[in-house]
Amino acid sequence: MEVWGTDMLRKDSPSIRAPLVPLPDCVIPATLSPALVARRTKTAKTARSRALIDTQVIYCGDNLDQLTKLPDGCVDLTYIDPPFNSNRNYETFWNEKREMRSFDDRHASTQAYIDFMRPRCVELARVLKPTGTFYYHCDWHASHYVKVMLDQIFGEQGFINEIIWKRQSSHNDAKQGSKHLGRVHDTIFMYTKGSDYRFKHLYRPYDPDYVAKF
């Protein structure tokens, strides 16, 4: 079958082109290289994914209000850095320090915190694609309870990694007279909805000093 891009010649007059006729999705010119076919297929899949949600919009406010409006399986990757149940109030300055914004990270109990996060994580799991990955950033205040909650939502088999992010080497909460070690790391839990998730390792060259030692 011959394909003439997005239009075709009339049989009775080869020199006159007929009105543009869109090609069906299944028609791929036989002269295209496999690499170009793969690239066009990937572009088409991306366009279909973007058609599900507007990827050019940033939604402000409670994520639960917006999540309920999204269709199932429309997100490739979810990373959340929610309140940590730290029993503190936080303030920050925006717009070159001309605007102060704040939020409260206080809950009646750890159970109250989990009850607050559960419906949001349920919705985040719903909108995640089967090929997607989910990351939950937390710390020692509630990480153990968060892990149990996520196991219940994604299933224990959905747990992939517990990523430890060491923020610094020393911490002033372990000052002289304290009765605990320094709390110097955060935890990021990685979950998926199945075995078909996408994941790619990124590598970089060894440090020259490290290579020189060996």
Tell me the two tokens of residue 145.
């309870």
Burial tier of 29 (Cβ tally within 10 Å: 0-12, 13-18, 19+): middle
For the cut 90, the answer to whether the pLDDT of residue 35 exceeds it is: no
Q: Provide the pLDDT for residue 17.
A: 40
CA–CA separation, 52 and 192 (whole Å): 20
User: For residue 11, what pLDDT band results from cuts at 50, 70 and 90?
Assistant: very low
Strand order from edge to edge, sheet including 159-166: 75-80, 128-138, 185-192, 159-166
Say which residues have a Cβ less than 8 Å from residue 66's Cβ, sequence separation at least 6.
Answer: 59
pLDDT for 97 equals 63
Q: How confident is the model at residue 37 (pLDDT cuts 50, 70, 90)?
A: low
Of 62 and 41, the structure prediction assigns the larger pLDDT to: 62
Q: What is the pLDDT of residues 88-143, one digit of tens each?
A: 776 666 666 667 666 677 888 999 999 999 999 999 999 999 999 999 999 999 99
**pLDDT band at 164; cut points 50, 70, 90:** very high
The secondary structure of 178-191 as a DSSP string is -SS----EEEEEEE
Domains of the chain, start order = 57-213 (3.40.50.150)
d(CA 103, CA 94): 13
Distance CA 49, CA 75 (A): 8
pLDDT of residue 101: 67
Lowest mean pLDDT among 45-49, 142-146, 207-211: 45-49
Checking if the pLDDT of 31 tops 80, the result is no
Model confidence at 1, in pLDDT bands (50, 70, 90)? Answer: very low
pTM of the full predicted structure?
0.70
Mean residue pLDDT of the chain comes to: 79
pLDDT higher than threshold 80 for residue 22: no
